Chains A and B, each alone.
Chain A
Amino acid sequence: MYSRLRCREHRCHAVNIPMPDIPLFPANAQARPTTLFEKIWSSHAVTVRDDGQTLLYIDRHYLSDDLPTESYHVLERRSLPVRRPEATFAMPDHYVSTQGSSLADVVDDERRVMVQELARQARDHGVVHFGLGDSRQGIVHVVGPEQGLSLPGMTVVCGDSHTSTHGALGALGFGIGATEVSHVLATQTLWQLRPRTMEVQVNGRTGAGVTAKDIALAIIRAIGVAGAAGHVIEYRGDAVRELSMEGRMTLCNLSIEAGARAGMVAPDATTLAYLRGRPHTPRGLEWDDSSAGWLRLRTDPGAAFDRVALLRGETIAPMVSWGTDPSQSCAIDECIPFPEAIGNASQQEGLRRALDYMGLTSGQPLQGLPVDRVFIGSCTNGRIEDLRLAASAVQGRRARVPTLVVPGSGTVKAQAEAEGLDRIFRDAGMTWGEPGCSMCLAINGDQGRPGERCVSTTNRNFVGRQGPGVRTHLVNPGMAAAAAVHGRLVDYREELRHAAA
């Protein structure tokens, strides 16, 4: 069973490359209890080296338009074909315009080339491409799940850090670099060291108006931006179970902001209800077989995680980031902390720098803070449920500041329009855009102006992320819409209460 391969060219002869006996899922009931992550990992290990490097098989791969063109040339230079073109799906999202869905709308020639190059590569290699004008086009992490392309038990990769999103379906999804993209295209595998596991348990009932975004920011605030470094998180607990699939995607999406390799939620009835009937999910007998197997994909009782973090749902309120990383967040009814109240000297220095950039001071309340611009969308919060929540907070009022609402995909856009949500946004004076990443990283022409305070449903409040000098506050979609109609940060739970009364 075990063989010794000699690779003369690379002098790897000292290392055994065994062909492992791979446990299949569903896991053998006699075996030691394992986590969801371990089940997926071990069933995808093609081979493991003595030094722990594992050649991991990749089921699903997404390509988007932000890859350096060199990644494609790797294959061209060696005249290599794409090993399994049907495993990869391509779609432009980073550089596409929100003002129109044609190539001509892309902001300049250099960026048009990025969108064109993706289309050309997809065509040349026989990869399905949801191009501009295709009703399915959109952000990779919105489109993959909604087309039924990411399924429980899969390994899913993309040259984008927010690939952790796909873990919401009970898949192992993680972001990779551009060179690794070419490696996946050529071999359908990746060399990986096995990450450690971390259980994040959120128990108890979250209050009205508290969303998955708030849970995620509360977790990141609690454990820090490197709090899950080197780990794959499994989110558990009744507050997680009660989340919709959209909510679970938001939660898993933000795993990377805690430094995690991936985040995942075990498949359950919610997962199956979401997947059933999607364009690429199995049908008929195959669905029956697959879905029964997916429900067995869960962490066995007694399986150990390397680390555990616990949070109570009742303690979480709508969150607002006040600094320049997502851990620098607090509840809307809190005040900005004092440096003395947090961490070590280096963290305190970081806090001072962050407040300086943000134009804020310690002790200042977040409620009432005037804002200049609002963005609603992204792979974090650009799904139909997010847009419904945002629309519910508009309540027939007008936006007081420029507000851009960008659906995460063409499918989300069509659904929102069928429900009349676009009308609510337009009537409020907000801009309703074409699907894409847009102002999340502001490289498609949509961006704020220096010094502006931008309330945003995205994932990173990094310095300059939404344009040089722009100050980003991360919030949930309801909070963002409420900030738009008030022109300042408000606790949107008050709004919801008034609306209900």
Chain B
Amino acid sequence: MQPLERIRAVAVPMPESDINTDQIVPGRFMHKPREDYGRYCFHDLRFDPQGKPRPAFVLNRPAYAGARILVAGPNFGCGSSREHAVFTLNDYGFRVVLAPSFGDIFFNNCFQNGVLPAVLPAEFAAALQAQLRATPGAEVEVDLAGQAVVAPDGTRCSFPIDTFRKERLLQGHDELDLTLSLRPYIDAFEARQRPLLPSTDTPRHP
């Protein structure tokens, strides 16, 4: 996983609410190999049924070429748990998604892939959308270490993130190594607690 500390890049405004993971990557591409997975990003919004780019779709506008930050609407990434949604955003080039709220599973999946999903207050998100629409191709700065977003007009806004996830993004580490180092705790838990938890053993048939 690539570490993320600070990024200044072209940001794309996508104000629609409730964009689900089916929209981010249609299910019919889920079995495709990971290579160049960015080609499926927002596929049916980006391309018409004949495969031609839809000129009105924001990612098809030249001003947003090379964008690395997505400024999305509320409840972005709701729906299916498919981690492919994060794969495709990441492979397309997005390292940060800013939104007033996120779909739960999508939000967790972002951290597993080095993508920062930052929750912004609705007013700041709306102001950011307006600036990005007024000046297509404007850059936004995201400082993970300082937990702040700087809009094109210089206004700043902080965002919350727990230390666990922040550290992981800053270091580019996944959580598995940490958990494996806690094996004694899991062993102790199993020894103490498992007899009290519902049995997962298959009963012997009489």
Contact = CB atoms under 8 A, between A and B. Distances in A.
A465 B22 contact: yes
Interface string B72-109: 01110011111110110000000000000101110011
A180 B203 contact: no
A395 interface: no
A87 B178 CA distance: 22
B163 A51 contact: yes
A261 B104 contact: yes
B182 A10 contact: no
Contacts of A74: 176
B200 interface: yes
Contacts of A51: 162-164
Interface string A63-89: 000101010001000101001101100
Interface string A451-484: 0000000001011110011000000000000000
Interface string A182-193: 110011110101
A443 B31 contact: yes
Given A11-B167, A179-B112, A114 B31 contact: yes
A316 B179 CA distance: 47
A24 B105 contact: no
Contacts of B101: 226, 229
B197 A10 contact: no
Contacts of B22: 441, 460, 462-465
Interface in B177-206: 177-183, 185-186, 188-190, 192-193, 196-203, 206
Interface string A98-115: 000000000000110110
A243 interface: no
B23 interface: yes
Given A55-B185, A261-B104, A290 B162 contact: no
A19 interface: yes
Contacts of B173: 9-10
A191 B179 contact: yes
Contact of A11 (B31, B79, B171, B199): B171
A183 B202 contact: no
Interface residues of A, number: 95
A187 B83 contact: no
A366 to B, nearest CB: 22
Nearest to A447: B28
Contact of A46 (B15, B164, B189): B189
Contact of A111 (B31, B34, B162): B31
A281 B206 CA distance: 13
B52 interface: no
A353 B15 CA distance: 14
A5 B182 contact: yes
Contact of B27 (A11, A159, A284, A441): A441
Band of interface residues on B:
35 or more
B193 A22 contact: yes
Contact of A468 (B49, B175, B198): B49
A359 interface: no
A368 interface: no
Contacts of B86: 177
A349 B83 CA distance: 28
A57 B34 contact: no
Given A187-B186, A443-B27, A464-B26, A179 B109 contact: yes
Given A46-B189, A154-B198, A347 B17 contact: yes
Interface string A161-192: 10000000000000111111011001111010
Contact of A68 (B84, B103, B198, B206): B84
A464 B109 contact: no
Contacts of A49: 164
Interface of B: 15-18, 20, 22-23, 26-28, 30-32, 34, 44, 49, 73-75, 78-84, 86-87, 101, 103-105, 108-109, 112-113, 162-164, 167-168, 171, 173-183, 185-186, 188-190, 192-193, 196-203, 206
Given A68-B84, A180-B109, 7 more contacts: A5-B181, A10-B178, A12-B167, A47-B185, A176-B81, A183-B175, A346-B16
| Pairs of residues from A and B, 4 with the lowest C-beta to C-beta distance, nearest first | A179-B112, A177-B109, A178-B83, A177-B83
